[in-house]
Structure 1
Amino acid sequence: MKSHELFHTLHQLSRHLTNTLNEALKPLGLYGSQWSVIYVLKTKGSLTQKELCDYLFVEAPPMTRTIQRLVKQGYVYQVTGKDKREKIIQLTDVALTLFPEWEKTVIDTNQTLLKHLPEASQEELFHLQKSWLQQLLSKEQII
């Protein structure tokens, strides 16, 4: 395989998946980027904005905009950290209440996207993704 095909195909797939998730979440008033932040906060607990950026591989300016939208919607709030510049992001009770509905929409969208892929192929795909991501993360720590 030519290396540009890998990046080109992954970019197309990523854009398609992002658009599909955005369309599914639109009736609930969310975008995929907002869901990502909410999901991480729900599964990992409160995090600083920098920790969110590092975990989701998002630069500070777009993360700031996403967090500001979530604050405005009443889904997260910010608490000052150890120093005045550090902001810890936490889910609100409203977000915790709505989380199951959002999660169901994401799960349903996942299932729709994967329905034509045999179960064994789905498992292999998830294994390859996790393995590849772990490999990339371990290389970043070395660099």
Structure 2
Amino acid sequence: MITHELFHTLHQLSRHLTNKLNEALTPMGLYGSQWAVIFVLKNKGSLTQRELCDYLFVEAPPMTRNIQRLVKQGYVRQVSGKDKRAKYIELTEEALKLYPEWESVVNEVNQTLLKHFPQTSQEELLTLQSSWLKQLL
């Protein structure tokens, strides 16, 4: 059945991309899951842990571990919200300073992975993924 093959292939591709990203970021002291948090915070601003979990489709325990590691590394901080119950996660100045370096490494990995994938196919895939994701949400 094509459904099984489609999802199996997507899962394999996802694992391969994750492994390549981890290989590139590990010398910089980061993993792909940490990069995902940093990338989202850079692009969306301060978010609660719940908002990060929802956006990245990650359960609370692994997100908590990621945030704790990033706090320990000095890349994010937790800030109390207006009602003191909500804690917002935001990037530190150190993370903002290092962000261009991390982004460069991620872009290099992405370009290497896409070098034999035509631009038109990339655009079509992005359109398909975006459409599918909107339907799922």
Q: Which runs of 5+ in 2 are unaligned?
A: none
Q: CA deviation at 1:35?
A: 0.4
How many percent of aligned residue pairs carry the same amino acid? 77
Q: Quote the Cα distance in structure 2 between the aligned partners of 1:21 and 1:85.
A: 35
Q: Does residue 49 in structure 1 map to residue 45 in structure 2?
A: no
Q: Quote the Cα distance in structure 2 between the aligned partners of 1:3 and 1:127.
A: 20
Structure 1, residues 27-46: CA drift from partner, whole Å, max 9, x if none? 11110000000000000000
Compute the RMSD of aligned alpha carbons. Answer: 1.2
Q: What is the number of equivalent residue pairs in this alignment? A: 137
Q: CA deviation at 1:85?
A: 4.3
| Other structure's SS at 2:117 match | coil
Q: Quote the Cα distance in structure 1 between the aligned partners of 2:125 and 2:112.
A: 16
Q: Does residue 68 in structure 1 map to residue 73 in structure 2?
A: no
Q: CA deviation at 1:123?
A: 1.2
Alignment of 1:1-143 (within 5 A): 1-137=1-137
Moved over 6 A (4+): none
Q: Quote the Cα distance in structure 2 between the aligned partners of 1:16 and 1:64.
A: 24
TM-score normalised over the length of structure 1 = 0.91
Q: Quote the Cα distance in structure 2 between the aligned partners of 1:23 and 1:46.
A: 28
Q: Quote the Cα distance in structure 1 between the aligned partners of 2:53 and 2:84.
A: 18
Q: Quote the Cα distance in structure 2 between the aligned partners of 1:84 and 1:9.
A: 44
TM-score normalised over the length of structure 2 = 0.94
Residue identity in the other structure for 1:29: G
| Other structure's SS at 1:50 match | helix
| Other structure's SS at 1:30 match | coil
Q: Which runs of 5+ in 1 are unaligned?
A: 138-143
